[in-house]
């Protein structure tokens, strides 16, 4: 199961349980809409709740990354899983985006939204008075 939230140019995604092909297709549709109508979004992927993913998701993600290699600004991954962190490092070879791995959701969100302030959009950290 996934949840998707949109704010400014940041797409926040949390994966819970198994990441299925239906989940990926839902995410893909949302991202394609953002790319087409709003330009290069930043992406925050919280994978701490992901238990597993199916092989067809891995294949679709690889194809999507290849087809949209230049369509993202920053990609922040929140995970403590070393395998996912290593995979993110490998993705840098195929995607022309700034990719960082974080243990903490707030740090990831702050990093992913840094570029938004320069465009006149205040990052949303969830705290008053920032």
Tens digits of per-residue pLDDT, 74-96? 999 998 877 776 676 666 656 78
What number does CATH give the domain 2-118?
Answer: 3.40.50.10600
Domain-wise residue ranges, the chain: 2-118
Q: What pLDDT was estimated at residue 89?
A: 63
Which segment of 8-12, 13-17, 92-96 scores lowest on mean pLDDT? 92-96
Q: In what order do the strands lie in the sheet with 42-53?
A: 2-7, 10-19, 42-53, 74-78, 98-102
Of the two residues 61 and 95, the one the predictor is more confident about is 61
pTM for the full predicted model: 0.79
Residue 129 has pLDDT above 50, yes or no: no
- Torsion angle, alpha carbons of 61, 63, 67, 69, to 10: 50
């Amino acid at each position: 199961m996934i949840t998707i939230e949109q704010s400014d140019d940041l797409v926040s995604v949390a994966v819970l349980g198994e990441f299925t092909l239906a989940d990926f297709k839902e995410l893909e549709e949302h991202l394609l809409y953002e790319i087409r109508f709003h330009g290069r979004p930043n992406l925050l992927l919280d994978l701490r709740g992901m238990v597993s993913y199916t092989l067809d998701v891995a294949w679709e993600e690889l194809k999507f990354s290849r087809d949209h290699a230049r369509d993202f600004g920053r990609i922040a991954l929140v995970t403590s899983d070393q395998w996912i962190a290593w995979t993110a490092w490998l993705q840098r070879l195929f995607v022309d985006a700034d990719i960082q791995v974080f243990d903490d959701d707030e740090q990831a969100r702050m990093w992913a939204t840094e570029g938004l302030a320069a465009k006149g959009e205040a990052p949303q950290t969830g705290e008053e008075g920032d």
